[in-house]
Amino acid sequence: APRLGNSSSHVDFVFAAAPRVSSMQPMSTLHSSPTPVVIRGDGFINSSALVCRFGDVITNATFLNATMLVCVTPRSLRLVDDGSDGGVQLEVSVNGQDFSVSGL
């Protein structure tokens, strides 16, 4: 009969309700150098897996409190808020896996 073994592998996972993003400041940048962005919303938790996603690029987030955090835009990414399709979507994750769906 097959024997089941024991595993000592350890994986950390943070389960939390998805955060909600309500605003970010600045909404746009005129240059493509890294820019700090203040993000407001709710459901933010102080986690080592707290990240922002600008389009497809993930960056670390700095927790300020449950309703505010700061992320720095990736190099060569310009935030555009002029109604064109040139902007990127911003989302936040408290566990590095499940992201908000804000549409900002």
Which domains are present in the chain?
20-76+88-93 (2.60.40.10)
> Which residue is associated with the tokens 């690029």?
57
How many other CB atoms are found less than 10 A from the CB of residue 71? 23
Tens-digit pLDDT profile for residues 7-40: 666 666 556 778 999 999 988 776 678 889 999 9
Are the C-beta atoms of 73 and 79 separated by less than 8 Å?
yes
Tens-digit pLDDT profile for residues 76-86: 776 665 555 56
pTM for this structure? 0.75
